[in-house]
Chains A and B, each alone.
Chain A
Amino acid sequence: MISIKNISKWYGSFQVLTDCSTEVKKGEVVVVCGPSGSGKSTIIKCVNALEPFQKGEINVDGISVGDPKTDLPKLRSRIGMVFQNFELFPHLSVTENLTLAQIKVLGRTPDAARDKGLKLLDRVGLMAHKDKFPGQLSGGQQQRVAIARALSMDPIAMLFDEPTSALDPEMINEVLDVMVQLAQEGMTMMVVTHEMGFAKRVAHRVIFMDAGKIIEDCTKDDFFGAPRSERAQLFLSKILHH
C-alpha cells in the first residue's frame, strides 16, 4: 500500500532523512517511534508530500508521490492525516470541518457530505457537538473530530503524526480508543507516537528511528522482546519507565 524506497531529505545542507526504506501493507498497523528530532514526523509528512524529499521514491497504492505529474490533491484526498495540533479549521463549525473537503474535493452533495460526516461524528461520540466551533471543544474532542474529518474522505490509509502529544494525560485514552477501534477494523495505519501501550495492543510492526535513519524495522514482538540496537534499548528503557 505504502512503499518507501531509499528516501533522503535535506533542509539546506542539513540532512534530516538518510536512505530510509520501509513498506506498509494493506491492513497493516505500523508504529514509528524514536527520540525527538529523529525524523519520524518528517517521514510521515513525506508520504503525502506535505514535505518534499530530494532522493528516493514513495509509492502509495502504486502512485509515485514524488512524480511532478502526480495529481497531489487527488492522492492526498485518499490518504487521511491526523496532526499533532489537531488543525481543525477554527473559523468553521464542526460540521463544516467535516464536510468542506467532501464537497470541494470529492464533489459530494452537501446533504450526502453532512450525512457521512455526522455518522462519523457519532462514531467518535461527539454528535452533541456538531454545531460548535473547534475553540469550544477540549483537546481530546478536537482530535476525535479531526479523526472523523479524515475518515469522512473514505481514505485507503491513515497517517497519524503524534496524535496524542499535545493532549493532557486524561484525554489521551479517549483518542487512543478511537484509534484502536480503527486498527481492529483493518484500517491501514502509519502512526508516529510515543504511546507504547498502543503499539503493544494493535501494532503489527514497529519502526524505530534515530538521527534521520531507520534503525529498527521489525515485528512488534521482536521489538518489545529483544530490540537489536543499543539505541532502541535505551529509548525503550526511558520511555517505559515514565
Chain B
Amino acid sequence: MFAGYDFDVIQRSWVYLFRDGMTFTLTLTALAMVGGIFFGTLLAMMRLSRFSILSYAAGGYVNLMRSLPLVLVIFWFFFLVPYIGAWLIGAKDPVKVGSFMSCLITFTMFEAAYYCEIMRAGIQSVARGQVWAGYALGLNYWLTMGKIVLPQAFRNMLPVLLTQTVILFQDTSLVYVISATDFLGAAAKVANRDYRLVEMYTFVAAVYFIISFSLSLLVKQLQSRIAIIR
C-alpha cells in the first residue's frame, strides 16, 4: 500500500520533531493542565458559592467557553492577549506575546471551563455532613474547602480529570492554526518542505495514537485501583 513512499523523511527529521515539537506539546499540556485545574477549581467554588454574583459570573464564563469552538477561542486569545497585557501593565500599544505564552493562556482559560464542571461534580459528591463537620470544628471556609472537601473531590474525580487531560493533550494540536511549532506544527513544516505529506501525517497520527492510547490505559488502570480501595 505504501510502495513508492519515502519514510526516510521521518528518520531525517525525528530529532527536530520530538526535541522541538513534542517538547512544546507536552510542556503545553502539563502546564495547561495544572493551570486549568487551578482556575477550574476556583470557578467551581465560585459556581457553588452562595453569593449569586460570583456564581452567575462563573456560570456565564463556563457556558460561554463551552459553547464556542476551540479554534475560535485560540484566535480570540491570540489577538486579545497582547491587548490584555498592555492593559495590565498600562502600556499604550499591544504587547508582544510569544506563541507559547499565548497558547498556554488560551488552553489554561479554555480547559478551566471543562475542569470546572468536573470539580463542581466532585465537590458535590462530597457529603454535606463533611462540610458541617469541618465548620463545627471551627474551620473557616478556606480550611474546610482546602483540607476536607477538595482532597476528597480530587480523589473522587481523579480519573475524570486525567481523561480530560488526555483530551487536552490532543486538543493542543489545534495550535497549528496560529502556526505554533507543536508536534503537529513541526511535522507540517517538514512535510511541506520535503513534500512528504502522506508519510508525515501517517507518522504523526501513529505517534498521537500511541501516546493517547497508553495514557487512557493508565487512567483505566488507576480507575480500577481506586475502585478497589473504596
Q: In the complex, A222→B159 CA distance in Å?
A: 58
Interface centre among B129, B133, B139, B147 (most CB of A within 10 A): B133
Residue B66 lies at the interface, judged by CB distance under 8 Å to chain A: no
Residues of A near B137 (CB, < 8 A) are 76-77, 81, 100-101, 105, 149-150, 153
Residues of B near A76 (CB, < 8 A) are 135-138
Residue A79 lies at the interface, judged by CB distance under 8 Å to chain B: yes
Q: How far is the CB of B204 from chain A (nearest CB, A)?
A: 41
Partner of B138, one of A73, A84, A90: A73
Residue B140 lies at the interface, judged by CB distance under 8 Å to chain A: yes
Partner of A101, one of B127, B139, B230: B139
Residue A241 lies at the interface, judged by CB distance under 8 Å to chain B: no
* A87 contacts B147, C-beta separation under 8 Å: no
Q: In the complex, A132→B137 CA distance in Å?
A: 21
* B148 contacts A89, C-beta separation under 8 Å: yes
Q: How far is the CB of B131 from chain A (nearest CB, A)?
A: 9
* A104 contacts B129, C-beta separation under 8 Å: no
Q: How far is the CB of A165 from chain B (nearest CB, A)?
A: 13
Q: In the complex, A105→B138 CA distance in Å?
A: 6
* A83 contacts B132, C-beta separation under 8 Å: yes
* B132 contacts A87, C-beta separation under 8 Å: yes
Residues of A near B148 (CB, < 8 A) are 89
Please report which residues of chain A, range 37-84, place their CB below 8 angstroms from some CB of chain B when the two chains form the complex. Answer: 45, 48, 50, 72-81, 83-84
Residues of A within 8 A of B (CB): 45, 48, 50, 72-81, 83-85, 87-91, 100-101, 104-106, 135, 149-150, 153, 159
Q: Which 8 A-B pairs have the closest CB atoms?
A: A77-B138, A87-B133, A101-B137, A81-B136, A105-B138, A87-B129, A73-B140, A76-B138
